[in-house]
Structure formats: C-alpha cells, structure tokens
Homo-oligomer: A and B are copies of this chain.
Amino acid sequence: MVVVLEKNITANQTLNIVKHLEEYGFRVHKTVGVQQTILAAIGVKPEFDTRKIKILDGVAEVYRITEPFKLASRQAKEDNTIIKIKNVTIGGDEIVVMAGPCAVESEDQINKIAELVSKNGAKILRGGAFKPRSSPYAFQGLGEEGLKLLKQAAEKYGLLVITEVMEIGQIELIGEYTDIYQVGARNMQNYSLLKELSKVNKPVFLKRGLSATIEEMLMSAEYILSNTNKDVILCERGIRTFETYTRNTFDLSSIPVVHKKSHLPIFADPSHATGMRDKVIPMARAAVAAGADGLMIEVHHDPDAALSDGPQALFPDQFSEMMRQIKLIAEAIGRKI
C-alpha cells in the first residue's frame, strides 16, 4: 500500500499515520519527494480497507498495490486455464459456441433447436429451466422438467449442457443434468451462491454483472476458485451505461484486458449485450475478432413464439450465417471453430 501525504502535513499528523499503519501490521518506508512525502506500507493484506488510512488527517491519497484477486490472476498462474469437458476443450485455440433458447419450453422446441445448434457446429446447448425475470408476472421456467428435456436433447445431438443456477437449493438438482453451471449477471455478486459453487466439481460460467467492473468480475471468480473448483469461464455480456439505443453496452475491450490480467477463458454473449437479433451477427463477429474464447448465443426455431427473449434470438438461417462468418474471422486471427 502506498500512502501519499499532503504537502502541508504537520509532524504530528505524520506520526499518527505511521502509528496507525504499524498497528495494522505494516512496516513503513518513507520517501521524501520534492513537494510531497510518500509512505510505502509493506506487508501483504489484500483484504485491508485502504479507507482506514485515507480518512486520517494529512493523507492525500492511498493506493493498494496488490490486486485484490490472487487465484484468478495471471501472476498466480501464467498459463491459460484449459477446461476439458468430455470432447470439448475451452480456453484453447478453438472458439467454442454455446447456443440455444433463452428458456426450455417443450420437448419439441428443445429438440428442434438442439438439432440446429449441433448441425451448425456449436458444441454446447444452453437453455434455462429456472429463469430470473424482472417481473414476478413473467414466465419463470419449467423447473426440473426443463432440465430433463434439456439433457435429453443434448444427448440426442451430442452436445454438452449449460443451464443457470439461481440459488443454493438448486445446485444439487441442476448438477444431475448439466455439464456447466451458469451464474447470471444479477447473481454475479451473490456471494452465498458463489461460495457453494466453489465446492462443486463442474465448471462455472460466470456472467459479468450489469454494473460490475472487470476487477469485480475477477473477484467473483476468486470466490469460486477459493475452494476446490478450479474451472471458471468468464463472460462479457454488456454493461449498463447512459446509451439507450442498445439494451446494454457490449464492452469488448474487457476481452484483451481479462486475457492480460487473468488465466481464465472469457466468452462473450452478444444476444444479451444488444438485446435485438439484428445486432447479434456483427457483434458476434466483433467478439471473435477481439479474441473471445467462445460465444453464447440465443437461437430459436421460431423466435416469434418464444416464451422469453424472442427478440434477441436468431432465426435458424441467421444462426447458420453467423457460424459461417465467425469461422472466417476465427481463421483470419489464427483460431478455429
């Protein structure tokens, strides 16, 4: 931690600051500059609340020097985390596509979609059985019945399964059906849930919260990594800004940033980021071009009839076209799908 002192600090104020630092367990090293003095507080305390020092008289600014996340950090593990689930490898050269409907609606629906997902080269079937909806009056998902239909369809077409878990009580049940647990954006800081998921033996797909910084996303990954689970896949899905012409602002810069700061793979979800299917193809291309390790895409055999999020689901033809285009982009940057 670095403590910058005010120019006109008194000797007593400096003494008081040093005393506080020492009581909190730091060794203090002083550097006198031309106009200002700085104190280097030596000692590793990632959880230390720097405001405890910032609030003291005579302190101009305080900087934490260690990032608050450790296990998620590239400094802790230089090589990329590669996650292998059955025949699918996430985090390597291959760009992996997860696709499917917002929600599982019926056996017929999920089978039709699984077929088209598989036929076009995607490897993982997505679909919600428990849905977090902002209105208590909206469709809330089929529950366990949905999980069963999802797993059957995935097996029939040789796909893996990813589905969302919303609460601790669902972890065991969902674990019987899914290959990957999805944590939605609104639960990115549901620490109780994250702690429980740190103990499961399946990968967790962690979506960035609407207003979460990249650092906070990595801190939430840290929660999951802090126990036995070592497999976290991050996902950029748009952040909240002042712009109203799009549903969210798709922060694609987070992809190279995460690749620098962390060894974890990062996906992108252009369906939720833009909220409208006519924006999904260009933004899927952009995500791949920016270096995303995979995509999560909503697709429906009949989007007009979808029970939720139909407007952001691609039509089957659009999905095929998107897959065709991103394969070309992947090749252009030396990757494959």
Asked if A288 is an interface residue, CB under 8 A from chain B, the answer is yes
B46 adjacent to A135 (CB under 8 Å): yes
Within 8 A of B (CB), among A245-299: 245-246, 249-257, 260-261, 273-279, 282-283, 285-291
Whether A6 contacts B54 by the Cβ 8 Å rule is: no
Given known A278-B260, A304-B52, contact A244–B244 (CB-CB < 8 A): yes
* Structural contact, A44 and B35, CB atoms closer than 8 A: yes
How many residues of A are in contact with the other chain, CB < 8 A? 112
Inter-chain contact A189/B134, CB cutoff 8 Å: yes
In the complex, which residues 12-53 of chain A have their Cβ closer than 8 Å to any Cβ of chain B? 20, 29, 31, 33-36, 38, 40, 42-44, 46-47, 49, 51-52
Shortest beta-carbon distance, A255 to chain B, in Å? Answer: 7
CB-contact partner of A132 in B139, B166, B191, B331, under 8 A? B191
Inter-chain contacts of A325 with B (CB < 8 A): 332-333
Whether A240 lies near B252 (C-beta < 8 A) is no
**Contact between chains at A190 and B186 (CB < 8 Å):** yes
Question: Which B-chain residue is minimally distant from A330 (CB atoms)?
Answer: B332
Closest residue of chain B to A43, judged by CB? B34
A169 near B168: Cβ-Cβ < 8 Å: yes
- Cα–Cα distance between A68 and B54 once the two chains are bound (Å): 19
Stretch at the interface among A105-113, A155-163, A172-180, A214-222: A214-222
**A168 is contacted by which of B2, B46, B168, B242 (Cβ under 8 Å)?**
B168
Contact indicator A214/B245 (Cβ below 8 Å) = yes
Task: Answer yes or no: A199 CB below 8 A from chain B CBs.
Answer: no
Partner pick for A65 among B38, B54, B169, B195, CB 8 A cutoff: B38
Is A337 at the interface (CB under 8 A from chain B)?
no
Q: Which residues of B lie under 8 Å from residue A89 when comparing CB positions?
A: none
Q: Which residues of B contact A65 (CB under 8 A)?
A: 4, 33, 36, 38, 60-61
**A85 neighbours in B (Cβ, 8 Å):** none
Please report the C-alpha to C-alpha distance between residue A192 and residue B168 in the assembled complex, in whole angstroms.
10
Contact between A257 and B253, CB atoms less than 8 A apart:
no
A88 interfacial contact with B, CB 8 Å: no
Known A253-B283, A273-B253; contact A42-B34, beta-carbon cutoff 8 A: yes
Query: A70: nearest residue on chain B (CB-CB)?
Result: B137
A8 touches B289 (CB 8 A): no
**Closest 6 A-B residue pairs measured CB to CB?**
A211-B211, A51-B311, A328-B332, A289-B289, A286-B290, A285-B289
